[in-house]
Amino acid sequence: MKTPSRKMDHLRITLLQDVEAGSTWFEYVKVVHRAAPEINMKDVNTEIEVFGKKLKAPIIVTGMTGGNENAAKINATIAEVVEELGLGMGVGSQRAAIEHPELAWTFKIAREKAPNALLIANLGAPQLLKGYGIKEIRDAIEMIDADAIAIHLNAAQEAFQPEGDLDFEGLISKLAELIDSVDKPIIIKETGAGIDYDTALMFRDIGIKAFDVSGSGGTSWVKVEMYRALEKGLEELAKAAEWMSDWGIPTAAAIAETRAAAPEATIIGSGGVRTGMDAIKALAMGADIAGLALPALKAAYRGKEELKKYLKAMMISIRAAQFLTSSPTPKDLKGKAVIYGPLKEWLIERKVYDLWLGSWRRTERI
C-alpha cells in the first residue's frame, strides 16, 4: 500500500515543516481603488456559477487528501465548512481508492458532509499515462458525485520522488481521446509550479475549458519531497530538491499566462493564496476563482471553526474589493490589476503581456 503511506508522509510534512518557497509575485500587483464606486453594496454579488454549481463566493479549497483516516477527517471538516459557506472543494488524488476500493469512504465523506457544495474529483496525469482511462475517471467522479474532475500535473514533484512517475509523454493525446466521453468538466490542475502559456494552449486546443494554475510561491512539492528524501537518507536528491524548491512560475504570472492562452476558460488562481488580498489579486489578474490548499489544511487541523473564520474573512475581503472597485460581480474585477516590476517584465519577455491585457482591458484614453 505505497500510495497511502506516501500520502501520510505528505500530510505530516506539510503540517509540521515549512514547505513554502519562492514568491507568488502578488507583491507586484495592485488593484485599483475607485473612490466613488457608484454602487450599492447590496448590488454587489460575490456569487458565481461554475461547473453547474452556484458558489457564494469565488473561493475553493483545492484538492489535498484522502486515503487514510486522518485524511478522511480533514476532508470531512473542509466539506462541512464549504457546505455551510456555499463554497467548493476538491479532494486529493483518488488513486488510492481506485486501487483500494476499501479506502473510497475517505473521499466519499466529502460528499456526505457537503451534499450541495461544488466538489472536484482528482486524478494524476501520471496515472492516465500508466493506463487509467475513461473507466477510472468515471469511477473517481462517481465516487464523490463530483461536479468536475481535476487532472493534476505534478511533474516537478515526481521529478524529486525516488519512486516518481516520470513519463509525461502523450498526455495531451490521451486526454484528447477521453475528453468527449467524460460528462463532467475536466480541469487541468498544477500543484504548485504553475501552468505556462504553452501548456495552457495545448490543452485549450484539445477542448479543455478549465484550469487550476497552482503557481509557485505557496506550497512547494519539490520542498516537500526534499524532506522525504532527507528522511530516506537520499542526500543528493534532497540537495537538488532544496536548490530547486522555488522552481516554477509565480502564481500571478501563471494566471496571466493561462488567461492569455485561454481567454474564455474557467481559471482557478491558486498557489500561495494566503490572504483575502491575495485572492482579490488573483481575480483581478484574470482568475475566475481563487483557490487555496495549505492554509485550509492547517486551519482544518485546528478545527472546523478555524477554517470557517478563515474562509469567511476571505469572503468579506472579496465582497469589499468588489464594492471598492465598482464590480457588481467577481468577473468585473478582471483587468483591474496594475502590475509592475519583475511580473510586468516577465509578461513582456514572454510575449503574453498584450494577449493578457486582451479583451477585458479598458480601451485607450486620449
Ligand X SMILES: Cc1cc2nc3c(=O)[nH]c(=O)nc-3n(C[C@H](O)[C@H](O)[C@H](O)COP(=O)(O)O)c2cc1C
- Of these, 15, 39, 176, 182, which contacts a copy of itself (CB under 8 A)? 39
CB of 100 to a copy of itself, least distance (A): 26
* Residue count of the chain: 366
Given a contact cutoff of 8 angstroms between Cβ atoms, the answer to whether 262 and 201 are in contact is yes
CB of 220 to ligand X, least distance (A): 8
> By CB under 8 A, what part of segment 244-263 binds a copy of itself?
244, 247-249
Q: Is 335 in the site for a copy of itself (CB under 8 A)?
A: no
Residue 53 has phi, psi (to 5 degrees) of -115, 155
Instruction: State the Cα–Cα distance between residues 157 and 291, nearest whole angstrom.
Output: 19
Contacts of 184 (CB under 8 A, 6+ apart): 51, 121, 141, 146, 147, 148, 149
93 touches which of ligand X, a copy of itself, none (CB within 5 to 8 A by kind)?
Answer: ligand X
CB of 365 to ligand X, least distance (A): 27
Measured from the Cβ of residue 118, the count of other Cβ atoms closer than 10 Å reads 25
Instruction: State the Cα–Cα distance between residues 254 and 276, nearest whole angstrom.
Output: 19
Q: Is 192 in the site for ligand X (CB under 6 A)?
A: yes
Q: Which stretch binds a copy of itself (CB under 8 A): 90-98, 116-124, 138-146, 334-342?
A: 334-342
Q: Is 52 in the site for a copy of itself (CB under 8 A)?
A: no
Whichever of 92 and 250 has its CB closer to ligand X, that residue is 92
Given a contact cutoff of 8 angstroms between Cβ atoms, the answer to whether 213 and 271 are in contact is yes
Whichever of 231 and 235 has its CB closer to a copy of itself, that residue is 235
Helix axes 2-16, 221-231, angle to 10 degrees: 110
For the stretch 186-203, what's the b/e string if a residue is b when 16 or more beta carbons lie within 10 angstroms of its beta carbon? bbbbbbbbbbbbebbebb
Whichever of 10 and 336 has its CB closer to ligand X, that residue is 10
* Listed residue (140, 248, 131) closest to 187, CA to CA: 140
293 touches which of ligand X, a copy of itself, none (CB within 5 to 8 A by kind)?
Answer: ligand X
Given a contact cutoff of 8 angstroms between Cβ atoms, the answer to whether 251 and 25 are in contact is yes
Q: Is 58 in the site for ligand X (CB under 6 A)?
A: no
Whichever of 191 and 258 has its CB closer to ligand X, that residue is 191
Q: Is 62 in the site for ligand X (CB under 6 A)?
A: yes
Please identify the residue of the shown chain whose CB is closest to the bound ligand X.
218
- Residues in the site for ligand X, rule: CB under 6 A? 10-11, 14, 62-65, 92-93, 122, 150, 152, 189, 191-192, 214, 218-219, 270-273, 292-294, 297
